[in-house]
Amino acid sequence: MNSLSLLPAKSELERIQLMTEDDSEPTLSIVRINDIIESLKSYYPNADINLIEKAYIFSAKAHQGQNRLSGEPYLSHPLQVAYLLTKMKMDDITIATGILHDTMEDTPTTFDEIEEIFGTKIASLVDGLTKISRINFSSTEEQQAENFRKMILAMAQDIRIVLIKLADRLHNMKTLEFQTPEKQKTIAQETLDIYSPLANRLGIDWIKTELEDLAFKFLYPKEFNYLDEMIKNKKAEHIKYIAEVKKIISERLNQFNIHNEVSGRLKHYYSIYLKMLRQKIEFDQVYDLIAFRVIVDSIKDCYATLGIIHSVWTPV
């Protein structure tokens, strides 16, 4: 490892891309290093691309010969994690750490090797992730789960450790089908009790909802499949309704010269399921399946928008 050059030669980068991308038939969507770089540069044009390429080469060599349970090269996982981090608009150091995050845990790589090549900051981030991965979540009681969440936040001296761990957990949940049924339930419950609330606490709603829906799928497959079928049966109806309501809202706001962006979406499965449980109702009795978001330019416009919408639909 120590012989790795500080600046990756393009020929070596291309060779590793070929080696890691063409060796096997992918069973999941593949993220390539160029996808990560393009996504990173879209919001951080001055990012250190050499650092990203160097992390890619190091991780590829460290994980060489390792495969995921899906049969894919192991490198596919850290690349997926890094790509998810670009969706959070994280910096180049965080992206590089995402690519390297399993090297200390799953390969003979040491802290000193990473520190020598990438510096103390990245080595410390990888080390922090390794320590969190070794926590044994032995109980899912609410108080104990809260203690575990606090432990993770306390151990992560840099919040980027938690963000990388959330991206890591999200990709692992997306590939959970390759685990044994027993591990599926254990990991899904841990996700619901520990990681989804962490994402919520940090305000990353899209990760929270994805984690919840994925955990729901494995913990309550019968209920998940029922909801999935019911929602898919009404998909065309939902699409039409969203388009109609967006048009009404936008047209009314335009009449008052309020610049607006309106979006609509179906609420996520797990939240619908919880509502059905709490209110003891059937799917057909859930009347707020769809949520709308209106973005305006000022607080004044926000209150005006609320009043206009209430004049069209009666608040419940």
Could you tell me where the beta strands, DSSP code E, fall in the chain?
Answer: 261-266, 290-295
DSSP label at residue 285: G
Query: What is the C-alpha to C-alpha distance for residues 156 and 218, in angstroms, rounded to an integer?
Result: 28
Q: How many CB atoms lie within 10 A of CB 136?
A: 6
In degrees and rounded to multiples of 5, residue 67 shows phi and psi of -125, 155
- Which residues belong to the active site? 105-106
Query: What is the C-alpha to C-alpha distance for residues 127 and 129, in angstroms, rounded to an integer?
Result: 5
Instruction: Answer whether 36's CB lies under 8 Å from 86's CB.
Output: yes
Q: How many CA atoms lie within 13 A of 1 on its CB side?
A: 22
CB burial string 147-175: b at 16+ within 10 A, e below: ebbeebeeebeeebbbbbbbbbbbbbbeb
Instruction: Answer whether 1's CB lies under 8 Å from 58's CB.
Output: yes
Query: What is the C-alpha to C-alpha distance for residues 281 and 43, in angstroms, rounded to an integer?
Result: 44
Instruction: Answer whether 180's CB lies under 8 Å from 169's CB.
Output: no
Query: What is the C-alpha to C-alpha distance for residues 22 and 30, in angstroms, rounded to an integer?
Result: 11
Say which residues have a Cβ less than 8 Å from residue 315's Cβ, sequence separation at least 6. Answer: none
Radius of gyration of the chain (CA): 23
Query: What is the C-alpha to C-alpha distance for residues 147 and 44, in angstroms, rounded to an integer?
Result: 36
The β-bridge partners of 264 are 292
